[in-house]
Structure 1
Amino acid sequence: MSSLDTEPQRRTLDDASAEVVSADEVEFDVETDVLIAGAGGCGLTATLAACENEDLTVTLLEKSDEVGGNAALSTGMIPAAGTRFQREAGIEEEPADMARDILEKNGHEADAELVQHLCEHSVELVHWLVDDWDLSLHLVDDFKYPKHSEYRMHAPPGRNGEHLVAEMRDRIESRANAELLTNTPVTKLVAKDGAVEGVVAGSVREEAIRAGKVILATDGFAGNREMVRAYCEADIADALYYGSDGNTGDGIRWGAELGGALASMDAFQGHATVVSGTGALSTYAVVMNGGILVNADGERFGNESKGYSEFAVDVVRQPDGVAYEIFDERIFERLQGEFDDFDRAIELGSYTSADTVEALATELGCAPEATRDAVESYNAAVETEEPDEVGRTDGRNVLSPPFYGTEVTGSLFHTQGGLVVDEHARVLREDGSTVDNLYAGGGTATGISGHGADGYLSGNGLTTAMGFGRLAGLHAARSFGE
């Protein structure tokens, strides 16, 4: 997590500095078959997929000293529709149901064919991770994120992305034909006649690496304040940044310099409930189990169940950019021990409790009487099964003493726009042709969330990170030498 206030100015797409060099000007130091830039969810998945071809050498480079990127900061939940884990739980749904939810959430602004393709691939993705790579995933069937019509999240232990990332790293390090290097940033692409031939990488000493295929998995640009200001709405540009510091738009700029088309550059995922002070993430399961948010005046200011991404903007727009999350002991006890994020927030002393709403509000710093009235109005709507004052009908339960709460702020997690790719995650130019030997996934590629914050559906990030990652790795390995 970083506010980026002390970060140096980052490069933008308008920067004149070249980040692609000609192969004619480079003497390659080493070679590999498939090179992946970035060891987040996309890069790790792409590496697993590519190294299944034991005849190939696969190299994964990460600029930071730890792998995982935003995937490690997430819940690690992978949405998939039609898995055997759903069927075992008595859930019957198809990839088309997941695609419908995604497209309805983004107002059908995303590429429908690509959304359907990723949703169909999601079933193979989850089964492959569990069956072929022995990853620990289980179906989450005790709550639904906003606008999910069915239980379809497949989570690692603790519902924590760190566990998912650790297992993936372990599997990669066990492969003789896969190499993972940290603290080794890719700094430039090497190309000839528009086709990628390798990269330049290294921090202390740069090396030119020849590669048959290059997969860009450097995530988006949420860690680059200048690019965020250039493309995303002003209300989120100066919000707290809660993502990996390495997400500075590198891969997007490299691909664009080679003629790669860009789309949905204004799209991003925010989060509405990062705890002020401790910086812990108060999982949105608090809200979807019945919690509400009020501002300093004790007033609810929007429908919390519309989603944590767009609601983050609503929170940022409140006085001082903060809100107050109000819930009860039933929710507290239900979530404790289920989410590592929630347990960490508890350990950091993020939550206050009281026997009355007024006492809780006084402790938190929001208007006591107005907060009490907001809870009473909400409870009355729940009891009568009518929409409440903000129009909410989902994820509601009567709140009863003792009550719990915390001060939260809205934050920026990651961007959702980038390079346009095809069904194999190959980077495309405006005319529909491919940039030879170049792939992109995750935040480096155009996402499936449409525009702005409103189109983000929970899980969209890992759907494109791990979905495109596997598609890129499989195609790169299959087509190597072409």
Structure 2
Amino acid sequence: MSRESTADSYDVIVVGSGAGLVGAYAAASRGLRTLVIEKTEYVGGTTAYSGAGIWLPGNAAEQRAGIEDSPDAARPYLDAIVGEDSAASLREAFLQAGPPLIDELEKNPRFGQFIWQGVPDYFADRPGSLPQGRTIFPQDFDRSELGDLEPLVRRPLWTERWGVDPGSVMIGGQALIGRALLAFMETGNGTVRTNTRLERLIVEDGAVVGIEALSEGERVTFRAGRGVLLAAGGYERNGTLRQRFQPELTDEWTQGCEGNTGDALTAGIDIGAATDLLEESWFAPGLVVPDTRPVFYTSVWSGIWVNAAGQRYMNERLPYDRAGHEMLRAHRSSDVSHLPTHWVFDQRQIDNERAFAALPVAPQVPGWFDVDTFIDAGVLKRADTLEELAQLIGLPAGALTESVEQFNGYARSGKDERFGRGEDPWDLMITHMAGAHTDGPNPCLGVIDKPPFYAATIVLSDLGTKGGLKTDDHARVLRPDGSVITGLYASGNTMAPMSGRIYPGAGGPVGSSMAFSYLAALDMADETP
């Protein structure tokens, strides 16, 4: 039974503790008393699981690496790939916010200097695309620097799933969250409350003036003098909402954090906020594994994907969000099921130890892929011939053999005449990471002819839903008529994305969340970006 409490007052309230922590830091560093509430026991959200790629064109880390880039150079790229799926003013606000945001963070030693690592943009054929990429990353961070704050940071995904020791050094999203949390608390203006769930927004005279939350069984009220920023992720762990907006999918396949059930989204809707693109996610293929959620992996190393008719239907090395969208498009436009998809490969995939371990975002778990364990669990099939494999996975007789033989012809010639696999910078980067599969003319293609043959199951996973509350270029939440809901802001996956239905490059979600959290903080501080 809940107990009532009196209200505490702050200048700024941030709901959610992922990349929105950057906005909390920006507000607190400007002297605004800032409260961050987090629904779960840990700070970091899905960002803490991520590799912490940050896609912000024209930033200082790119310049240090000798990459010629700027907001002006990236504008044609975003315009071409996003089109009418988001307002041009949102894209412009994002582009202009990125460089000064990174400059500001790098002035604080807690954030340190970010590092460019050369991950290609995801749409290589569009104007303004950079084959060397715009993505930057935080430096690793020693866990001990957090002191008493360290237990607050969400554990790595592989620690949560497999119990792997998180180690003494934070990497990727852990490093970004750890750095942001410490910087935020050291402002002297920051407060964090975990195990505190948003219940509703408090509205007076049409303006948001605070929140009501449930904290450790106690109903609490917090007032916000400058505004409330909703940065609490998407609704990917809410089965009811997924069935409503994405009926082909399930909350059981997502990579999103357990707390992401759409509380902030529904709170905004309840007071009349407009929404957009709720049917969208940051999609990613998911490899079905024993005893836990699918593993997000970015691209095949060898083999092909086929649908329920045994037909190959895409370039299996497309960047993960593009691959996920293609899976969904093919499924919706055909009478043949593409969900799940069958990944068919031969013994070469097994023999190359790097083939699984080196794939981006593969589990940091020694021996996580074991053939016998996967076969015993029923998530991997093995057969001496393609005909036998087809029978095991329920494909039409002869269809799988025909698809493999066609692909083998492409591998021998060095050109994928159907889907162009091996022609983009992303394809080649994956090959470099995992090691060449073949001595043939195209290292991204390899003949599938060494028995036994295998079939794994690929489902349509995601890094989180991406539709949300509509905002203007200051991250202020809008009503359906376009008017601003005073005092309410949104960023990250609680916000309808500036990138529309696409994923511009590695770090698009984190970069956008950081940028619009920053813009919200500037607006609450009455500071022009």
Equivalent positions of 1:251-400 (< 5 A) are 251-277=264-290, 278-279=292-293, 281-284=295-298, 286-287=299-300, 292-295=304-307, 299-312=311-324, 315=327, 317=331, 318=337, 321-324=340-343, 326=345, 328=349, 333=354, 336=357, 339=360, 341-344=361-364, 347-349=367-369, 377-378=406-407, 380-381=409-410, 384=413, 386-392=415-421, 393-394=423-424, 395=427, 397-399=444-446
Equivalent positions of 1:34-433 (< 5 A) are 34-42=12-20, 44-54=21-31, 56-132=32-108, 133-135=110-112, 137-141=114-118, 145=122, 147=124, 149-150=130-131, 151-156=133-138, 157=140, 160-203=172-215, 204-212=217-225, 213-232=227-246, 234-237=247-250, 240-277=253-290, 278-279=292-293, 281-284=295-298, 286-287=299-300, 292-295=304-307, 299-312=311-324, 315=327, 317=331, 318=337, 321-324=340-343, 326=345, 328=349, 333=354, 336=357, 339=360, 341-344=361-364, 347-349=367-369, 377-378=406-407, 380-381=409-410, 384=413, 386-392=415-421, 393-394=423-424, 395=427, 397-399=444-446, 406-433=456-483
Contact 2:234 2:494 in 1 (8 A): yes
Q: Distance in 1 between matches of 2:402 and 2:514?
A: 45
Contact 1:117 1:423 in 2 (8 A): yes
Deviations 1:259-290 (A, max 9, x none): 32222222222211334325353431x44x77
Q: Distance in 1 between matches of 2:94 and 2:134?
A: 14
Aligned residue identity for 1:182: T
1:153/1:202 Cα in 2 relative to 1: closer, same or farther (>3 Å)? same
Contact 2:303 2:343 in 1 (8 A): no
Are residues 1:29 and 2:7 paired?
yes
Q: Distance in 1 between matches of 2:19 and 2:370?
A: 28
Deviations 1:48-82 (A, max 9, x none): 1101113x211100011111112122221111222
Are residues 1:464 and 2:477 paired?
no
Q: Distance in 2 between matches of 1:107 and 1:219?
A: 24
Contact 1:36 1:215 in 2 (8 A): yes
Corresponding residue of 2:378: none
SS of the equivalent of 1:324 reads: strand
Question: Which one is further off, 137-146 or 414-423?
Answer: 137-146
Contact 1:273 1:312 in 2 (8 A): no
CA RMSD of aligned residues (A): 3.7
SS of the equivalent of 1:349 reads: coil
Cα drift, residue 470 of structure 1: 1.0
1:263/1:320 Cα in 2 relative to 1: closer, same or farther (>3 Å)? closer
SS of the equivalent of 2:76 reads: helix
Q: Distance in 1 between matches of 2:447 and 2:106?
A: 40
Cα drift, residue 409 of structure 1: 2.1
Cα drift, residue 178 of structure 1: 0.5
1:332/1:282 Cα in 2 relative to 1: closer, same or farther (>3 Å)? farther
Cα drift, residue 391 of structure 1: 4.3
Corresponding residue of 1:3: none
Q: Distance in 1 between matches of 2:67 and 2:119?
A: 13
Cα drift, residue 334 of structure 1: 8.4
Q: Distance in 2 between matches of 1:118 and 1:351?
A: 45
Q: Distance in 2 between matches of 1:379 and 1:129?
A: 50
1:434/1:143 Cα in 2 relative to 1: closer, same or farther (>3 Å)? closer
Contact 1:328 1:400 in 2 (8 A): no
Contact 1:337 1:343 in 2 (8 A): no
SS of the equivalent of 1:240 reads: coil
Contact 2:471 2:489 in 1 (8 A): yes
Unpaired segments ≥5 residues, structure 1: 1-25
Corresponding residue of 1:450: 500
Contact 1:358 1:369 in 2 (8 A): no
**Which TM-score applies when normalising by structure 2?**
0.72
1:346/1:422 Cα in 2 relative to 1: closer, same or farther (>3 Å)? same
Aligned residue identity for 2:222: I
Corresponding residue of 1:18: none
Contact 2:237 2:251 in 1 (8 A): no
Cα drift, residue 216 of structure 1: 1.1
Contact 2:285 2:296 in 1 (8 A): no
SS of the equivalent of 2:35 reads: strand
Unpaired segments ≥5 residues, structure 2: 141-169, 332-336, 375-381, 429-443
Cα drift, residue 188 of structure 1: 1.4
Q: Distance in 1 between matches of 2:57 and 2:456?
A: 34
1:377/1:338 Cα in 2 relative to 1: closer, same or farther (>3 Å)? closer
Q: Distance in 2 between matches of 1:472 and 1:166?
A: 21
Cα drift, residue 179 of structure 1: 0.8
Cα drift, residue 292 of structure 1: 4.5
Q: Distance in 1 between matches of 2:260 and 2:283?
A: 15
Question: Which one is further off, 243-252 or 391-400?
Answer: 391-400
SS of the equivalent of 2:48 reads: helix
Aligned residue identity for 2:464: H
SS of the equivalent of 2:218 reads: coil
